[in-house]
Every structure is written in C-alpha cells, then in structure tokens.
Amino acid sequence: MWFASPDEVRERLAAVDYLADDGITTSVFLAGALGKPLLTEGPAGVGKTQLAKAVAAATGARLIRLQCYEGLDEARALYEWNYKKQLLRIQADDDAWDDIFSEEFLLERPLLKAIRSDEPTVLLIDETDKADVEVEGLLLEILSDYQITIPELGTIVAARTPYVVLTSNATRELSEALKRRCLYLHLDYPTPERERDIVLAQVPGLPASIAEQLARTVAALRVLELKKSPSIAETIDWARTLLALGRTELDETVIGQTLGVVLKHNSDQARAAKELGLPARS
C-alpha cells in the first residue's frame, strides 16, 4: 500500500514541500489503495505535474514520465523495435528472421518501462489532452489491467502495479472510456492563504508579509481577462525574485519592475498595470 491514510498523505507530501488540501489527500490515498489511475484536471500551473513528482518523492518511488504532444505515437509511448540492429543481424545471418523480434531488439518507451519495472514506480502521463485521440486507445489496456500486448512477444503483465497519474489542462474532452478507468481530481488555483503557505514552504527566508502580499496580488491578477494567468510556479519565481533583490515590500514600483516574472504577454502586463493602478510604462 502506498499510503496508510489521507492524513499520512498530507504529512508525507508536506515533508517534500507539497501542501495538499483534503480533496487532494483523499484522492491520492484512494488511487494507491484501490490501484486506480488518478486523472488530475485543471488550468495550467496549478500543481498537477508537481503532485505526481511529490508522490514519487514522498514514497521513494521511481518517476517515469510520458510527455504527451500532438503526433505522439505507439513507438514513442509504448515500445519500438531496433530496426538498425535487426537489419545488421539479418545481414550477418540469413536465418535470423525468427530471432529478430525478441527482447534483444526491443526498445522500451515510458509506458512499457513502467509496466516492466520491478520497483515502486510512479507513472506520470502528462498533458494527456495534448495527445491525439488514438493515444487514449493505447492507454485503455494499460489502465484497465496494467498490461501491454506486443504481438511478437505476447502479453506483458505488470511486474508491480505502478501508481499512475494523468494530467490534463482540459483543452479537449477526454473519452468516457478513459475517464471510467480513473479516479478524478479537479485542481484549481489555491486560495490566497494556501498559496501564501506554499510560497513560504518553497522560498525559505522570505518574510511572511511579502508572501501574503504576493499571494493576494496574484489572486487579483487571475481574475483579470489575461492570455495566461500566473501559475503557482510563477508566484514562487516572483517570491524568489523579490528575495534576490532584497525587497521587503511589494509596492507599486516593485510590481512594475518585476511584473514580467509572472506575466509573459505585453498585453497582459498592460492590462494588469491599468487594473492595479501602476504608473504608466515609458
């Protein structure tokens, strides 16, 4: 069992500086206790990927990551054959045709690597919504039975059930078949109080008053109609920036000077400056 209780989840994640609320701790516990994948969905930058990393760090498990993208195929997600090595074998031995589809020529990709791992493993399938729909079909067998079928070798069953975390930014709707196989956790931006605590945990030496000001300023930015709202990671970067500059207060001048740390579009910076009443930029 990965965790004994939701309370243990909270304690062990906090020990690796991931502050989890009740919804997160319950979902993380149940995913391990029931052996079901955990689908985490929400806007970019709310800690979905970091949650999988934190689970791996808290449990001492190996982290295997499949980064999804448009055009991802079976060869990059599951496995492929080492065609160059196969060709060399055939050239050296005309009778080698029966042997070239064996373990010696198999190249593991993240999904197969996680299934065959004999040590505790956290499998992170990151930004699932960016992959083509066909990739979801590849995942169904894995997420149902923790096994992969390779026609030339047969069915490979997981040596040890991995802890699976899928993330999605909800840019497209995932299939019902995929969702049925998972527990679901929606992550949103934290409250200013929780984000303050996250910042203090991640940026040692930062005054609590600065963390409070940062969290409330970022919360104000997120309600604006921006191209890209600040992520939690960018809030942490902002905190580290202020610490590096030796600032002890987040006033209008400091915000204006460092706004590019959290807002990466000129139009967003202009809108923020107007809404926050900052001096006009020259």
CATH for 99: 3.40.50.300
| Cα–Cα distance measured from residue 143 to residue 205, given in angstroms and rounded to the nearest whole number | 43
Residue 129 is part of which domain span? 6-186
Considering the domain architecture, whether residues 168 and 217 belong to the same structural domain is answered as no
* One domain, residues 156 and 88: yes
- Quick count: other Cβ atoms within 10 Å of Cβ 190? 20
* 147 and 42 assigned to the same domain: yes
User: In sequence order, what are the residues at sequence separation of 6 or more whose Cβ sits closer than 8 angstroms to the Cβ of residue 235?
Assistant: 195, 198, 199, 214, 215, 218, 262
Residue 41 lies in a domain: yes
pLDDT averaged over 10-residue windows placed end to end, the chain, 282 residues: 95 95 97 96 93 97 97 92 88 76 91 95 97 89 90 91 96 93 96 94 93 95 93 95 90 90 93 81 53
Q: Do 57 and 147 lie in a common domain?
A: yes
pLDDT of residue 134: 87
Is there a contact between 51 and 165 (Cβ–Cβ < 8 Å)?
yes
In a domain, 46, yes or no: yes
Residues 53 and 121 in one domain: yes
Place of tokens 């997120």: 222
Q: Which of 142, 160, 186 is the last residue of a domain?
A: 186
End of a domain among 116, 151, 186? 186
> 134, 105 in Cβ contact below 8 A?
no
Q: What is the dihedral of CA 93, 98, 103, 108, to 10 degrees?
A: 100
Give the list of residues 6+ apart from residue 165 with CB closer than 8 angstroms, or none: 31, 37, 38, 40, 48, 51, 52, 55, 122, 123, 124, 125
**Residue 1 carries which side chain, given as an amino acid letter?**
M
Q: Do 77 and 214 have their domain in common?
A: no
Tokens of 97: 């045709």
- Look at residue 281 in the predicted model and tell me its pLDDT: 56
The answer to whether residue 59 sits within a structural domain is yes
Residue 149 and residue 83 share a domain: yes
pLDDT of res. 208: 93
Q: Are residues 25 and 77 in the same domain?
A: yes
The conformational region for residue 246 under phi > 0 = left, psi -120 to 50 = alpha, else beta, is left
pLDDT of residue 90: 84
Question: If DSSP codes are grouped into helix, strand and coil, which group holds residue 149?
Answer: strand
Residues 204, 232, single domain; the answer is yes
In a domain, 1, yes or no: no
**Residue 139 falls within a domain, yes or no?**
yes
Residues 27 and 165 in one domain: yes
Q: Is 281 inside any structural domain?
A: no
Quote the number of domains for the chain: 2
d(C-alpha 111, C-alpha 103), whole Å: 16
Same domain, 163 and 207: no
pLDDT at 276: 82
- 268 lies in a domain? yes
Of 153, 186, 219, the residue at which a domain comes to its end is 186
176 with 41, same domain? Answer: yes
For 5, list phi and psi in degrees, rounded to 5: -165, 165
Q: Is residue 282 part of a domain?
A: no
